[in-house]
Structure 1
């Protein structure tokens, strides 16, 4: 049997702020929570992906201060350039936009970036050969 990526676990400084961020910007929802790590542990997933990939969010982390040239991030695909722009505008108003919408050559596409309340970067892209609708696109 081959390994399958099922989750990413994050220690965060403010659990409720991170849960709210991923609900608001990523349309993820809480699929499980339980007592643990001095507070509670929360599992979040995209609708329909509850059994295939989740974020496990736990309290007790420190704020990440990524360097300006550090592009470590979580990547979410969206259905259009307009959706990238809408997310960027909401993030700008919320004070968490770090990369304004921009176009890059294939396979990067059109994207913007946000900073979550723990300091993780989150990218929203359109036109990459990944995610829903990309099955017809060749990999680079």
Structure 2
């Protein structure tokens, strides 16, 4: 099988294990690949939530010079407002809640920003209409059925 389409986003991190733990807790992701690059000595991990063929590639580096900061962020959909609230409570206790939770109504929904160990922003959401919008546009692109 060959990959087609959008497969990953790569982020520099300073502590691979801390970042894997953060994305496991706040985005329900796990490492499906780890390696040390033989040329650079850089530690690498691929994280997925197993909902689609997509990974976040974490690249361990001595420092992170370009953080993913608002308005830039990664977004993860949660199964309910209660899950967003629970994760926000955890983030508040751990000192990494950046903003929210807040309800912006459709199509944005209920959201909050949390900050990963290197300062990158992860958005937790419930009720965003991403899947709905993608499904609607996919239907529009389908060829009309022939009546022949």
TM-based fold match above 0.5: yes
Please give the TM-score of this superposition, normalised by the length of structure 1: 0.82
**Cα drift, residue 64 of structure 1:** 4.8
Corresponding residue for residue 47 of structure 2: 44
The 8 Å contact of residues 107 and 127 in structure 1, kept in 2 or not, is answered as: yes
The 8 Å contact of residues 129 and 138 in structure 1, kept in 2 or not, is answered as: no
Unaligned runs of 5+ residues in structure 1 are none
Corresponding residue for residue 21 of structure 2: 20
Please give the TM-score of this superposition, normalised by the length of structure 2: 0.78
Count of residue correspondences:
131
Task: State how 1:1-140 maps to structure 2 within 5 Å.
Answer: 4-36=5-37, 37-49=40-52, 52-60=53-61, 61-62=63-64, 64=66, 70-131=70-131, 134=132
- Secondary structure of the 1:99 match is strand
The 8 Å contact of residues 11 and 58 in structure 1, kept in 2 or not, is answered as: yes
**Cα drift, residue 105 of structure 1:** 2.7
Distance 1:32 1:90 in 2: 27
Distance 1:123 1:138 in 2: 24
Q: Which runs of 4+ in 1 moved over 2 A?
A: 63-67
Structure number with bigger Rg: 2
- Secondary structure of the 1:19 match is helix
In structure 2, relative to structure 1, the CA distance for the partners of 1:125 and 1:109 (3 Å cut) is same
Q: Which moved more, 1:40-49 or 1:14-23?
A: 40-49
**Cα drift, residue 20 of structure 1:** 1.0
Aligned Cα RMSD in Å? 2.4
